[in-house]
Structure 1
């Protein structure tokens, strides 16, 4: 066994109380986080010494499955198979009591409760925590999960995401009063057509698009923080061609596994998605999208547009949406074309339009009788504005923002205010 691997194995054995266990197998995986950084994970399966060894194909009760950051040695996840904690119990909290769990998490992670993480959800035998800065949530967030069996023994611990410290925070008091955020909120009040399955028709509804508003109310930050959006290159290219192409599109097998070799881990090779797309690659992708459309959607010239390309699992993903803004856009229906980066050729695709088939027979929406201004006036009293620290890539820090949300919408025909979770 490699010396660094052996060192990490012994470190995990000692820290997690696995002295009465044997390492059954291990694998290496590569991830990319929200900040475009590469992380290597070593996954280990520790079997109790007295476990039945007749089958190597599955993990017996009490097996500890552990994920650890190879380079920092931080434990990311512990799961005991079949909820049986077979490790040294002195290494774990003695019960699901909040105080015991929080103290154990602080000791294990170096984080401080209240300053860097808060309780997000609690049950009798499970607790969930979210990243925070002095009791204010952060985005993108970090999460911690713990669970216990009926005997009060820990059977799950996981930590994921980021927990910023004070040096990463651009400190300032929350200053978004209604007079500052309501003009922005008004622009976020949009008319959409949503499927009403009870009546089998499209329902025109005004709703508030969730968004983060900077503390000075001068700009907004999108609500989504998928890790692969770091590489997103926005496009607005209507796809047109003169004639279709003969032949059929051949779907090719793809390797989406994050597993890597030890050699790759030791070399700390950057995740391929951290290497930015070049202009040449973007241009080649646009040409490949046209070729794909001519083969698969030959009659849709001018009806679809390329809205963006980004990196995911070592491949380039091209997003293709309808040109016309219709009800499908409320469901964000699109085609995702997966392109091999080395050859810049299309490998496979996902047409989410098939999800729309269930609504094809729905009756068209009635004409809106309520204006956007009237709808916003009705929703003004239901607006939620909560402080949150949001990561700002331009300054490489977390800045104070307000999270704009609204749990209600306005029926654009009747003017009725409706709880959106009832639709």
Structure 2
């Protein structure tokens, strides 16, 4: 075993109280964070020395950052643990928080806060002085019936002080009403009870900057996405069947890549060449699979994921339904050939029995006048890719909607 691996394995065994365990197998994989950095993870499976090899109960699955040794995940299979109990906390909330602080070097309140406290389960979220952040960071801890820790995981980013653009929350109803009015949209929601699509006015969630002048969309976290609004057309179909190729979304890496910290392929920017080639590929794909749909689809965005280029295709005509048709075309970044695709048409077929929505009987202004008092702007620090820092925003949201036919106030969580 390579010296670097031996060092991490030995550290994990001591740090996590696995003295009565033996390393069974290990794997390296890599991921990309929101800053477009590559992170290598060493995943290890440990087997208790006193159990039969055929029984997985009590096995420990541990993941550590290959370069920093930061613990990312601990799972004891089937909630059975033979680890040194002195290393782990009791199920007491305060004890868990202290243990997390020691394990992660994070500070409770300043960098993470409690968001769920149930029997034997505690969940925490990334924070800045008790204010949530987006994209979210999460910490999850579970205990078995004997009060022993059986699972720990930490995902996402927990900002440091130098990554924050500090300012007090300044949004008030007066400053966010204009944006809230713009975000009031008429959508159609599936109503299984009435067997139809229901037209509802609701407030589309968005992050509003602290000065009340800018917005950051909820889906802005897809860092490599290049937006595109090109309607795809062609003169004639292609009389050829599209062949799906099995895609490999594995993030597994080899030691040589980790040692030199080779960049994840998804960290490479989407170039103009990529955009042009993907547009051409998308047209070729549609000519084969949807040959009669010239002008009915538009290319909305291109991004990298799991080593592939993804092209998102939406109906050009658009729809007000909350569940929209979408195709994700998977493209080989080396050849620009379409290798597979994901079409959510089967999901939409589940609602094919619903009757069409009735025409709206009230206006957007009437609906907003009823929603105005229920609109909220909760403080949240949002990562702004353009500025490269977390900025204070208000999460503009409203738990209610307005039935566009009757004017009735509806709790949207009921749908």
State TM-score, norm by structure 1: 0.96
1:4 is aligned to 4
Unaligned runs of 5+ in 1: none
User: What is the aligned counterpart of 1:335 among 327, 334, 341?
Assistant: 327
Larger CA deviation: 278-287 vs 350-359: 350-359
- CA positional deviation for 1:354: 2.1
Question: Quick check: 2:382–2:393 contact (8 Å CA) kept in 1?
Answer: yes
1:238 is aligned to 231
- Listed as ranges, the matches of 1:223-262 within 5 Å are 223-226=218-221, 229-262=222-255
1:30 is aligned to 30
User: What is the aligned counterpart of 1:392 among 374, 384, 389?
Assistant: 384
User: What is the aligned counterpart of 1:291 among 284, 287, 299?
Assistant: 284
**Alignment partners' CA distance in 1, 2:259 and 2:214:** 42
Q: How many residues align?
A: 415
Please tell me whether residue 44 in structure 1 is matched to residue 44 in structure 2: yes
- CA positional deviation for 1:332: 2.8
- CA positional deviation for 1:326: 2.2
Closer, same or farther: CA 362–327 of 1 in aligned 2, 3 Å: farther
Secondary structure in 2 aligned to 1:250? coil
Return structure 1 stretches of 4+ with deviation > 4 angstroms. Answer: none
1:382 is aligned to 374
- CA positional deviation for 1:363: 1.9
1:18 is aligned to 18
- CA positional deviation for 1:196: 1.5
User: What is the aligned counterpart of 1:217 among 205, 212, 223?
Assistant: 212
User: What is the aligned counterpart of 2:296 among 303, 308, 314?
Assistant: 303
Secondary structure in 1 aligned to 2:181? helix
Question: Quick check: 1:34–1:225 contact (8 Å CA) kept in 2?
Answer: no
1:81 is aligned to 77
**Alignment partners' CA distance in 2, 1:152 and 1:360:** 48
Please tell me whether residue 68 in structure 1 is matched to residue 64 in structure 2: yes
User: What is the aligned counterpart of 1:172 among 152, 156, 167?
Assistant: 167
Unaligned runs of 5+ in 2: none
CA RMSD in angstroms comes to 1.1
- CA positional deviation for 1:149: 1.1
**Alignment partners' CA distance in 2, 1:162 and 1:81:** 26
Give CA deviations for 1:182-239 in whole Å, capped at 9, x if unaligned.
111100000011121122222111011000000001100011254xx11111111111
Question: Quick check: 2:169–2:379 contact (8 Å CA) kept in 1?
Answer: yes
Question: Quick check: 2:186–2:320 contact (8 Å CA) kept in 1?
Answer: no
**Alignment partners' CA distance in 2, 1:421 and 1:274:** 37
1:324 is aligned to 317
**Alignment partners' CA distance in 1, 2:281 and 2:216:** 31
